[in-house]
Amino acid sequence: MKKFVVYGAGEFADIVSDLIERVLQYTVEAYILDDEYINAVNKYNGKEVVPASMIKEKFSPLEYDVAIGFIGKDMFNSRKRVFDLLKCYGYKIDNLIHPSAIISTSNIGDGNIILENCVIGYNVKFGNGNIMWPLSSANHHNIVGNFNNFAPGASTSGGVIIGNHCFLGNNSTYNNKVTVSDYTFVGAGAYIAKNTESYGVYVPEKSIKINKTADEFY
């Protein structure tokens, strides 16, 4: 049986741990945090919390796999930093794929976390360290780079290129063959009809409250 340590502690670490243990039936042995975040408790979910400087000493890459259990709010640069560090140490960073996901390609990198009812379509090239939240999809002939976050319900059309370190908001949609450039942030409900600019932020018009009450409608 595979044994994992999870790098991170918090809500996303809980989701990753649940996927590892309850769904995939592996074990989580401990949690890893950057040294500056270690506190006096040194326990998370009843398991040991180990400083990152001791990871190789305590958990040999020959015996343990590592899952990255944090998202990173710096457009996922910190995920890349940890991914590269773990690879340098010799750890295997498996893809963690919920069994309800539909995967129609074998061209997938390492360290992707793919949650419930996601779709990766035919002839998709899918990189490293991506997160796909429930009901998101990368459809046929997409090229998806590294360290992107597909929020719930984000859906691409055919031939879309997603760069690196992009955030695709809840229920955002993408026209055929558009390119989403590196470090693009797309807000919830947006429709991307044309190529984006690197570091661009794309949001739809906001919902407004009108001068009627709900029972006048329903």
The three state secondary structure string of the chain is: CCEEEEECCCHHHHHHHHHHHHHCCCEEEEEEECHHHCCCCCEECCEEEEEHHHHHHHCCCCCCEEEECCCCCCCCHHHHHHHHHHHHHCCCCCCEECCCCEECCCCECCCCEECCCCEECCCCEECCCCEECCCCEECCCCEECCCCEECCCCEECCCCEECCCCEECCCCEECCCCEECCCCEECCCCEECCCCCCCCEECCCCCCCCCCCHHHCC
Q: What does the pLDDT profile of the chain (218 residues) look like in tens digits?
A: 899 999 999 999 999 999 999 999 999 999 999 998 887 668 999 999 999 999 999 999 999 999 999 998 899 999 999 999 999 999 999 999 999 999 999 999 999 999 999 999 999 999 999 999 999 999 999 999 999 999 999 999 999 999 999 999 999 999 999 999 999 999 999 999 999 999 999 999 888 888 888 888 77
Query: Annotated catalytic sites, by residue?
Result: 140
